[in-house]
């Protein structure tokens, strides 16, 4: 399958994060999950007011602190130092989960091991006997947020697609993923199936389809024509 990626320039993690940031509207309350999603905070423009929440009990975070200015008493759920914007605050863990479960988050951005064609999410355990489970607040976020975005590499290290017909890893949430941002494509999960909105430079839809066995990928223009 590697020959299908000849001449393709995969999007970098910063480019993926910038694309997610561009799709988050002004005034949104957003939780950024551990790993790739934390980079989104660095790409929210100064002219856009987005309130960032972390399940360990922080709201109103800014971009990552400059080197040498880290305060390890002020961290996110991934134990990374963060900054606090004017008006930001921290509070009890239980209050934070009440915000998540109560539908007060507009968006969450999570990593994933797998996303199914129907929008199911698996991101807390690979199912391998020696794997360490790490559910954290992912189940609460995936279902509690009004929209769930996923950031992930499109392929595993073994070259297998993480967009699958049905998740084989233990599920985090069912039919909860709205959009998938990867290094190869931006895909919207719709009732008709996964719709490819953008492709990495040099990648064709047919090549992406060949990398994604068992999942029928739709082109965005076909839905427009059908309408």
> How many angstroms separate the CA atoms of 148 and 30, rounded?
10
Catalytic residue among 55, 69, 70, 160: 55
Contact (Cβ atoms closer than 8 angstroms) between residue 101 and residue 144: yes
> How many angstroms separate the CA atoms of 185 and 151, rounded?
11
Selection from 101, 90, 84, 175 nearest residue 138 by Cα: 101
> How many angstroms separate the CA atoms of 56 and 53, rounded?
9
Catalytic residue flag (residue 15): no
> How many angstroms separate the CA atoms of 10 and 200, rounded?
6
- Phi and psi angles of residue 114, each rounded to the nearest 5 degrees, phi first: -150, 150
> How many angstroms separate the CA atoms of 140 and 102, rounded?
9
- Phi and psi angles of residue 135, each rounded to the nearest 5 degrees, phi first: -70, -40
Active-site annotation, residues: 55
């Amino acid at each position: 399958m590697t020959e299908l990626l000849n001449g393709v320039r995969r999007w970098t993690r910063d480019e993926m994060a910038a694309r997610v940031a561009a799709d988050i509207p002004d005034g949104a309350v957003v939780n950024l999950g551990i790993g790739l999603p934390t980079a989104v905070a660095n790409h929210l423009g100064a002219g856009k007011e987005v309130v960032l929440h972390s399940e360990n009990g922080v709201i109103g975070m800014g971009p990552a602190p400059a080197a040498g200015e880290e305060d390890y008493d002020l961290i996110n759920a991934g134990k990374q130092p963060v900054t606090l914007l004017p008006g930001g605050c921290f509070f009890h863990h239980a209050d934070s989960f009440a915000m998540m479960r109560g539908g007060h988050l507009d968006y969450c951005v999570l990593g994933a091991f797998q996303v199914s064609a129907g929008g199911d999410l698996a991101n807390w355990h690979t199912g391998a006997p020696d794997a360490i489970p790490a559910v954290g607040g992912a189940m609460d976020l995936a279902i509690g947020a009004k929209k769930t975005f996923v950031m992930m590499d499109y392929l595993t290290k073994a070259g297998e697609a993480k967009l699958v017909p049905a998740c084989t890893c233990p599920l985090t949430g069912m039919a909860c993923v709205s959009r998938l941002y990867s290094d190869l494509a931006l895909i919207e999960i719709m009732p008709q199936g996964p719709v490819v909105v953008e492709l990495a430079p040099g990648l064709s839809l047919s090549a992406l389809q060949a990398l994604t066995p068992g999942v029928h990928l739709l082109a965005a223009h076909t839905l427009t024509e059908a309408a």
